[in-house]
Structure 1
Amino acid sequence: MERLLEENSMRPEAARARLGSRNAPQWLVLVGFVLGLIVGLVYAYQINPVEWKDALPIDLRQDYKEQWVLMAARAYAIEQNSELALERMRSFSKEEAADLLNRLYLNAATETDREQLRQFGALFGIDVGTATQLPEGETAPPTPPAEQPEEGGGSLFGTLLRLCLVGVVALLVAVGALQFWTNRRRKAGELFEPGARREPSLDLSVEPEAEGAFGGYEEPLPETGPMPAVSEKSIGRFTTRYEYGNDNFDMSFSIQLPDNTYLGECGVGVGEILLDQPHQHVGAFEVWLFDKDDIQTVTKLIVSEALADNPDAVAALSERGEIIVAREGETFELETASLRVRARIRSLKYGDNPSLEPNSYFERLEVELEPFQKAGGGGIEY
């Protein structure tokens, strides 16, 4: 008997240790992600960079576009092939072709080039050179020269420097994402931190009224003889807190026995949004319970006082579950085949928006969820 009690008393600590050990691979995933990103960048930029082929003239850089148009104009002056000239300029709109021809006209070195450009523009109905004449003594700004790559080791050094900077940024983003993900899991009650207080919390303490019970376990009964009925046991307690501005609020909790036996999930999420600017004005919340041994998810809705007085809104929301009018201290239950959750509204505060009715949306809502396993339910039978 003493040995059994000792084993039961050690189960919460063993559960914490097992859950804590699950976090170790996260850093391996982070390191693998960063290394994979760096190797991918090196391969993409140094070993096998992308080579662009068969690009359209419209996709070229500005100076190359001008060279293309100038060569097309010179070719047309020699060949006088209008169909080929139209094909060469097909990817340009008339406005862009006019802009390129006028730029080339202003920067033309000889009168012959200007004449060729005027004839080429006339083919497309563009009057080149008339609307862009500069005052005497002024010249058009030259087209910026094409950028030349650095020579020697400067190019390699610059590439390596850029890769290092990209790697550092990627590492910071990965660390931030990992921290965000970890915080969400803690808020959802999926991580234990031994010796630290967390909210919402899973209560693994001894039930005061249950003598010889550790985290919902009773002292094992002899295997011989009939098993007497035992009352339901609380296997956790969760607290959800919503505040205005927490858009897309959704909190869920795994219902597990101290030996990690999974029974189901419960949670609270946004049920009805009255206004979405500048933040969500929530008029109803869904409280739900999922039982792995049942075929459906049970849902009830906590609605504001103003929404509860609207018959059309109540009729629409009632199709999704029972309506509970939000009042401090209000208690209700959700029940499935092997689980029961007692929900209690601990506190609430309505927001004040002149465009909405009074007491129509929540500025703050705090709900406590306490799941119970029914006698003979899934997991360990009592």
Structure 2
Amino acid sequence: MNGLTTNRHWLTLLTVFIAGLLVGLFVLGWGLFPVKWTNANLRDLREGALNNYLSAVADSFAANGDLGLAQTRLNEWKPDEAGVLLDRLAARYQAENRGRQAQTVQALVAAIRAAPAAAPTKQVTPTASPAQGSIESNSSLITLLVLLLGVAIIGAGLGLLAWWIVSRRRPTPVLEANLPPEEPLPVMDMRPATPLAYDAVDETDDDFTDDFVDDAGEEIGAYPQAAPAANAATGYRPAPPPPGSDIPIPPTAAPSPPAARSEPQPAGSILVPGKKLAEFEATYHRGDTDYDEAFVVEGDAGAGYRGECGMGIAAALDRESTQATALEVWLFDKSDIRTVTTVLASQYAQQTPALQARLADKGDNLLAALNQVFTIEAKTLILEGEITDFAYHVGDGVEPNSVFERVAIHLTVYAVEA
């Protein structure tokens, strides 16, 4: 609905993506499904395992004297490289006072250096060529890269899923600039007209008026005695006395106000609030720059999702400030194409033309006040809001009645029945 809310959605999306990537890399890649190495080359062995292998080859040579078999078992190294490794192992055994094992290794070194380069072997064992070792090394690297790529894809999928969920929680408002203005329904005034008061007609016989009598003896033109004018709820004022008379003018009583009467509903309206669906409490506190509350409206058992409602920041005090000077309460009906909004503006926002221009296209504009009651109507839902707690912020050099300190609104959602 505003820039603060959009920034919050992007921040949420980025946070969920990074969290998904870390979970996929460390928890899945290293914890639950770690990489397992099999059929590693002798060159890839760590030092302790390599020394054990060389010592086992030396012990085998000392037992059977088969130099060809020993050379086959050391064919991943050149004779000079194998001699260096064996000399290093013999020196280590000497330092550790393991003389017998040192002599065994030295005997194997001497035999390898004294033997010709291509010594016959009793047992032919297929060995891996350098190209094959390179292929195996590349295969291991490819496997690791594929695993990392899979973890990245899983993290991206989790991030997209979170973005989809967040976008569903706040429906995109539909621009109403091209929609024709709604004309109010005609209202028929059914109130009874105010009764008129008539002066009493004196039908008594006097010197100035004679009653007419018909053949049956009934008077013609006689009017019934009317109620005294003083008892009628009208603005009747008695005639003033003639000039020069000493008769005082009696005081005139103020007319009593007409009795209160309820306004009739529009004759063409057929939508009336029906069953109460949900009640929510939305509260804003100053300093919450990303304030945006949304609530899901559920129908009766089995009816499922009906829509959403909520409250967010409609406008800040200025472009550099993050303090709210106007809030917006909105209602989304899944069967409608619009998100209907009512703006609750501060007294400062109501009196500032620039802020009024910014809030003009957001919806109905009301002055926020304690116990203020308003309604928002959609196609099948009606939202009734009541401000239950309200206060302006005082201090910090801001204009009086311009920044909300806190605003609490009780939201009630009704179903609309035809």
Q: Which has the larger radius of gyration?
A: 2
Give the TM-score band, short-chain normalised: 0.3 to 0.5
TM-score after normalising by structure 2: 0.36
